[in-house]
Structures are given as C-alpha cells and as structure tokens.
Structure 1
Amino acid sequence: MSTNQIIVCGTGIVGLAAALGLARQQEKVLLLGPRKPPEPAQADVYFPRVYALSSESKQFLERLGVWDLLDFSRVTPVESMQVYGDASGYVDLRAWQAVQPEMAWIIESSEIERVLHQGVKMFGVSWHDDRFQSLTAHSVKTESGRQLEAALVIGADGADSPVRAAAGISGTSKPYGQMGVVTHLTAERPHGHAAVQWFTSDSVLALLPMPDTADGPQVSMVWSMSNDRAQALLALPQAERQARLELDLLAATEGALGRLTVRSGVFAFPLFLERSSMVAPGVALAGDAAHRVHPLAGQGLNLGLGDVAQLLGILKARPQWCSPGQISLLRRYRRVRAEPVMAMSLVTDGLFRLFASHSAPMVVVRNLGMRLVDRMPFIKRQLIVGASGERSRERGRDLK
C-alpha cells in the first residue's frame, strides 16, 4: 500500500485531539465525522457536560498548543476534595498536601471542543464531513459511498463505536443499572474551589466547582442513581422535577452548600463498565470506543486523552519505513494502556461495589477505612497524586 494516511473516525474531544496531535507530528491525517463547530459561549450559560481534567491532561493539551486558547473565565481549578461516606466516613484531600496548586480543572466539554476546533483549523487538518460505514484491509467506506485509503484507522467514535464493530474488536460490557443525572446548580454558599462527593446508601453524588454567575456560586452535579429513580425523576413535569431534586439534594448534602437551586436542564446517561482489546490489524481504539468506567472518579476523559498521548508517542518513535498500522506498534499501544485502564476500572468498580453493599459489617468497615485514610498524610498524598495524574507525568512526552 502506498499511502501512510491515518483516518481518525470521530469528531469529539478525543478524535479532535488525535487528529491535531498527528498533524503536529506531520503525519498525513484525515478527520472523518460530522463537522459541527461548538456554539459561541454565552455569559452565565454553561454547557451541561463538564469534565475534571487532570494535571496530566492539562499538560497534554499544552503540548497540543490549545490550553492557552481556553477562556479561563469559564475554567475552575479544584483545590480540594471532600468525600463523605454513608455513615461517619470522611476524607479531606487538599492539593497543598501533595505540594500542588490544583488537583484538577473543571471545564465544559464545549470549551475544550472549541479550542481543539481552532487547533485542527490552524494546522489545516483535512476534515471529511461524512460518517464511517465499513472497513476493509486498507480503506474506509463512508455513508456517502466514498472510499478512503488508510494505513491506520483510529476509532474515537464513542461508546457505540461503529469502527470497533466493523473491526471485530472483542470486549466486555456490564451495565451498572444506574444512570448519571447531570445539571448545574446555584449554591447558597461559596464552593471554595472544592469538589465534594457523597456516597449514600444507594447512590453517589458529586458537586464540582464552577465559575460564579450573576445568581451566585455555581456547581455542577453528577448524581449516579438507580435507573428506576433517575427515570422517575426525569418523568416529572419540569417544575416538580426541579422541586424534587432540590429537596433530595438538601437531604443528601445536609445543607453543606446551603440551598441548591437547579439553574439548567436536567439530563441523564446510562452507566457501564466496558473494556476492549483496543486494537486489530490497522485499527486502534481510543476513549469511550475502547473503554468506559463509572464516573465516580471523574476519569473517563482523562483516560481517553491518555490513550491519544501514548498512541502519538508510539507512532512518532516508529522507524521511518514502518507503516502506522503495523500490528506490532498497535500491540505496544495496547500493552502500555492496559495498566492504567485496568487500574482505573478496578478502582471505580471496586468503590461502586464496596458502597453498594448494605450489610452492617461492611458499612462499619468502609466508613472506618475512610476515617483511617483521613489520618494518614502519606496515603492522602498518594490519592491526590493519583487524582491529578501526576504519576504519569513523565509518560507520553514525545509530542512537542
């Protein structure tokens, strides 16, 4: 095959980052997927999906040249995290305990997409506004019938990845029987740049700090709850839904931030634990197409950007004669991603199962464990380092 073209299927954050990174490495890259530029931001109006970006992800976006393009009036640093158990358990993590200024940054998905759109435009990335349909040994067929040559296809096309299905990449999928309910809230009290999480007897509630608005302090809510509870909430008329959610929040948080008032739409998405073998000849998956974890640790996008950073490094280091779709390269990519993906899957799934148990001994043990952790500075430093992604700071630095 004469071409070394790499086709990135998927035009969300992970796909855009992959295409921009490849262009910066002077690879021949084509972006395949719908071209839908983010809508202009409005003052005091925030996109419903937000992400907690780790230090490692921040450094990656810096290497892509887009971090400084962000509107920092819409970015909130996380300086501490408080975690409450379902009894007396409590862990207080603060960035300074690990000699760091921040643990993470809360950013709207639309703001990350906006700067990545600017990046791919500045680097002249070819963008085919079409959809993936099928795959052959060295080409991709689009829905419009166009045949595109490719030495490597990167599937960054989401959890229901057509690329993964077409490549026959095996995987496992386990539904949690839960949905993540998201909305933005106006808080009566300042959030103090703290992310707060409550493990209740039947759910996990997280409040993430966001920029203040004219109405007051703002937080973003991610509440993982049973399918039945989430569907019953969403089925209510808007006014009743808002009133019910505000009452439930007051009870769950015990008024930690005072009264919480719903200030945006309420949305929900199903939760899964998914893993795949990530590669096939000429195909590599990244992001949700490759894996999904429970959102209680807020690490889904960080894992996806980690995929891209490692794949870029492996492709850049390959011999000049080596095709980007060489299976040995892709197997190396799978190996280096196996540990962080498995580790995050075990942590999130383990925490979910630990707090899903209602037996009295387990309630005592897990809350006692949290109190012990809160008294151990070394363990707390390790948790902060893990949450911020600092352990992997030296990895994936090949992109300049």
Structure 2
Amino acid sequence: MEADIVIVGAGPVGLSLARSLSGAGLRIVVVEQQRLADIGEPQFDGREIALTQKSVRLMRKLGLWDFIDPDARAPLCRAKVLNGASPGALEIGHELSGHSELGWLVSNHLIRKAAYDALQGSVAQHDDVTLLAAEKVSGVRTDDAFASVTLESGKVLAARLVVAADSRFSSTRKMMGISADMHDFGKAMLVCRMTHETPHGHTAWEWFGYAQTLALLPMNADPATNAPQSSVVLTLPVGEVNEIAALDPDAFARHIERRFMRRLGAMKLASTRHVYPLVSVYPQRFVAKRFAAVGDAAVGMHPVTAHGFNFGLLGLETLGNQIIEAQRSGIDIGAASVLRRYEDQHRRATRPLYLATRFITDVYTNNTAPARLARGIMLRAASRLMPFRRAIAASLTG
C-alpha cells in the first residue's frame, strides 16, 4: 500500500493529526494495534484531561469540541497548591488570566471519541485517510527517497513520511534508533472519580503531602445524585497504590477521606479505578530521516503541570502546519528542512516546562527536612508575587 504519510498510533493525537491533514491533498494511513471497536468506542480509563484555552481553540478548529457533550466539559476556574498539613495554599484564580475560566476538564476517552468522530466526518468528505486497526508495526525503514513500514501481518506501507504517535514508550521511535531521557519516578498514580460532601468550587488541588501526592480535579456534579464530584489522583510507591486499589469500595472511600484529612467531608467511589506508572520521557531528537514523533512519543510529561495532551495538540499543530505549507509549496513533505523546523519549534515550546516540571517534582516529593522547609518558603514567596502568579495563570490557559 502506498501513502504520503503513515501515522503510527490512533490515540487522540494520532487521530487529530490525521484530521488536521485531511483535505490537504495527501494520502494518509493510520495504523493502530487496537481493534476498530476500541478505537471508535473507547471506554472510561480514569484520566481527566486539563485543556488550556489554546487547546480548546485548536479542538474547535479541528471540529472535536462540538463532538463533546457540553455537560461533560467541566470548567476549571481556580487552582491551588498545598504543602503538607499547612492550611495555607498558593491560589491561582481565573481573573489573573483574563478568561472566565482557566481551562476545561474533559475525560480522556471522550476526547478520543471526539477525535475519531471528527476524523470520520472529514474522511466522508475527502476520502483521504485509511485506518488500519488491529495491526502492529514490526519494522520501519527510511532513506533519502522514501520510508516503509512493515506490519506483523506482512503488509508493507510505502510513504514519504512516518509519524510516531504511539505513546511515551514508542516502539516506533525506538525502531528509528532515537534514544530518550526517561525518568521512572518509582511511583504510580491511582485515578478515579469520587463524590464528596464539600463543594469544590471548580478548584483544582495539587497537594504535596509528606510521602504522598494528592490531586483533585473538579468535575461536574454527579448526574444521578447532584453531589459534588471530582477526579482523585493519588500518587504513591507502586506497591502501596496496588494495595489501596484492591480495597472494597467502602473501605477505599474511607481510606481516601483520611488521606484528604476529611477536608472534603464524606466521599464515595463513583467510577472504576485505574493505576498508571509514573514515567516522564523526553527524546534526544523529535525527528530523523523521513520520520517525526508527536504527542507522548515526543514529550511524555509528568502530570503535575497538566500539560501532557496540551503539548500533544501543540506538536501536531506545529508539524501539521509545516507539512501543509510544504505540500502547498511543492516541497517534499519528508524533507529534512521541513522536519527540522518542526523539531526546533516544538523543542523551544516544550523543553523549558519539561525541565521545570522535573524540578518541581524533585523538590516537592522530597521528604527530607531541608526540602520541606524549602517547599514552605517557596510557596509563601510565590503567593506574594503577583507577576509569578500571573505567569502560572498564563501557563494554565496556554
């Protein structure tokens, strides 16, 4: 099979990239190892995605936003950072951003579904994207003239450009010989939805406790009971997380109440529970000969700054713009100059925050006495610095 572009990975970034390129006169093939039913009807996976204002604008442009039920979009109006048992917090309100909300919270599986539906609508109009489901890539080869992707089924796809969008542990990136700075935090995140007595006021919490990290993402009220509802994220060593995840629902709820020091009142489990390893990834290169990486395959962020999928959208926009401009100008879309411009722009946009996030997690998850003292000092100082608080607000809105 021949194509102009082969995209490996039909997650929200891979599907959105295909959608952004559809209609530009290119033949696109998307390869995904999941079954078509799983791509078209993804199930709840526990992850709630914090979308910046800029990301929402791009999702509107691509047609994704309209496929998400307005009742499933939860406004994020405030954010606060807590340290240990201290009642004080660094608070960032939407008024510092110039918007009526800092951003929006939407379930990952709904974004995946919206990306699939938006792509199907574009394919119906342009007939230029082929989705190969239940197929796994076994090899990638590129040279000055073309690229080829071999599938385990024996199919060979010829293309001018191969794009990896197949997770932070990208096997496609590894096949191209690109190494990555991978940091395993030795911990795991347990994520689920819970209802609680105390209203959240559409405020997100990042709570750096001692020997634990808690996050609270404010969702819309539970449709059945109208009780306040949030996504709870608990980060602990892997063994502890697995033990807590195995508790029966009532015991689990009481356990989480205690970890939140009952600041939310009585809590109740409202969804399935999911556990994810905590690993950040930053490749040495985003591109190679006739190859580019996007999404988590390019930048796998620690979730503390909530920029993972936002960087994915930013990367696909940058790469998509370079490809479309090259196509319109009659330039080879796989040319080194085209890919280098993408890499330079995306590295400048992501590297500073990636490094800052590593610093934050190193300091705020360190439980030594000097680190605890430094954390308190930094939070108190940040609370008094309006330019710093405005900068955080600007980052949260994108």
Q: TM-score, normalised by structure 2?
A: 0.90
In 1, the alpha carbon distance for the partners of 2:3 and 2:109 equals: 31
Indicate the residue corresponding to 2:122 in structure 1. Answer: 123
Q: Could you list the per-position Cα deviations for residues 324-362 of structure 1 after superposition, in whole angstroms to 9, with x for gaps in the alignment?
A: 111221122111111232122212211111123333233
One-letter amino acid of the structure 2 residue matched with residue 347 of structure 1: A
**Against the structure 1 CA distance between its residues 324 and 99, is the aligned structure 2 distance closer, same or farther, given a 3 Å change threshold?**
same
Preserved contact between residue 13 and residue 116 of structure 1 (Cα < 8 Å):
yes
One-letter amino acid of the structure 1 residue matched with residue 48 of structure 2: V
Q: Does 1:379 align with 2:381?
A: no
Q: Does 1:275 align with 2:286?
A: no
Pick one of 281, 295, 298 that aligns with 1:290: 298
What SS does structure 2 have at the residue aligned with 1:133? strand
Indicate the residue corresponding to 2:84 in structure 1. Answer: 86
Pick one of 54, 57, 79 that aligns with 2:55: 57
- Say which is worse superposed, 279-288 or 250-259, in terms of deviation: 250-259
In 2, the alpha carbon distance for the partners of 1:39 and 1:346 equals: 36
One-letter amino acid of the structure 2 residue matched with residue 279 of structure 1: V
Q: Residues 301-340 of structure 1 correspond to what in structure 2 (within 5 A)?
A: 301-318=309-326, 320-340=329-349
In 1, the alpha carbon distance for the partners of 2:77 and 2:136 equals: 41
Indicate the residue corresponding to 2:232 in structure 1. Answer: 221
Deviation at 1:38, TM superposition (A): 4.1
Gaps of 5+ in 2: 124-128
Q: Could you list the per-position Cα deviations for residues 59-115 of structure 1 after superposition, in whole angstroms to 9, with x for gaps in the alignment?
A: 111111221221111110100112111253511111012221111211111211222
In 2, the alpha carbon distance for the partners of 1:147 and 1:47 equals: 32
What SS does structure 1 have at the residue aligned with 2:228? strand
Indicate the residue corresponding to 1:393 in structure 2. Answer: none
In 1, the alpha carbon distance for the partners of 2:205 and 2:40 equals: 29
Q: Does 1:170 align with 2:172?
A: no
Preserved contact between residue 67 and residue 118 of structure 2 (Cα < 8 Å):
no
What SS does structure 1 have at the residue aligned with 2:162? strand
Preserved contact between residue 22 and residue 28 of structure 1 (Cα < 8 Å):
no
Corresponding residue pairs, total: 379
Indicate the residue corresponding to 2:375 in structure 1. Answer: 366
In 1, the alpha carbon distance for the partners of 2:197 and 2:31 equals: 45
Preserved contact between residue 215 and residue 233 of structure 2 (Cα < 8 Å):
yes
One-letter amino acid of the structure 2 residue matched with residue 39 of structure 1: E
**Considering only aligned residues, what root-mean-square deviation do their CA atoms show, in Å?**
1.9
Q: Residues 6-85 of structure 1 correspond to what in structure 2 (within 5 A)?
A: 6-33=5-32, 34=34, 35=36, 36-39=38-41, 47-85=45-83
Q: Could you list the per-position Cα deviations for residues 108-161 of structure 1 after superposition, in whole angstroms to 9, with x for gaps in the alignment?
A: 112112221111111112212222221122211112111111100110011232
What SS does structure 1 have at the residue aligned with 2:240? helix
Indicate the residue corresponding to 1:263 in structure 2. Answer: 270
**Against the structure 1 CA distance between its residues 47 and 160, is the aligned structure 2 distance closer, same or farther, given a 3 Å change threshold?**
closer
Preserved contact between residue 3 and residue 157 of structure 2 (Cα < 8 Å):
no
One-letter amino acid of the structure 2 residue matched with residue 93 of structure 1: I
Q: Could you list the per-position Cα deviations for residues 244-285 of structure 1 after superposition, in whole angstroms to 9, with x for gaps in the alignment?
A: 543343233232221221122221111112111111101101
- Say which is worse superposed, 242-251 or 357-366, in terms of deviation: 242-251
- Say which is worse superposed, 146-155 or 214-223, in terms of deviation: 214-223
What SS does structure 2 have at the residue aligned with 1:317? helix
In 2, the alpha carbon distance for the partners of 1:212 and 1:79 equals: 15
Q: TM-score, normalised by structure 1?
A: 0.89
- Say which is worse superposed, 70-79 or 46-55, in terms of deviation: 46-55
One-letter amino acid of the structure 2 residue matched with residue 284 of structure 1: A
Gaps of 5+ in 1: 390-400
**Against the structure 1 CA distance between its residues 346 and 382, is the aligned structure 2 distance closer, same or farther, given a 3 Å change threshold?**
same
Indicate the residue corresponding to 1:396 in structure 2. Answer: none
- Say which is worse superposed, 276-285 or 137-146, in terms of deviation: 137-146
- Say which is worse superposed, 3-12 or 197-206, in terms of deviation: 3-12
Indicate the residue corresponding to 2:126 in structure 1. Answer: none
What SS does structure 2 have at the residue aligned with 1:301? helix
Indicate the residue corresponding to 1:182 in structure 2. Answer: 191
Q: What is the identity percentage for the equivalent residue pairs of Structure 1 and Structure 2?
A: 26
One-letter amino acid of the structure 1 residue matched with residue 360 of structure 2: L
Q: Does 1:250 align with 2:261?
A: no
Preserved contact between residue 185 and residue 261 of structure 1 (Cα < 8 Å):
yes
Indicate the residue corresponding to 2:4 in structure 1. Answer: 5
One-letter amino acid of the structure 1 residue matched with residue 138 of structure 2: Q
In 1, the alpha carbon distance for the partners of 2:266 and 2:25 equals: 52
One-letter amino acid of the structure 2 residue matched with residue 68 of structure 1: D
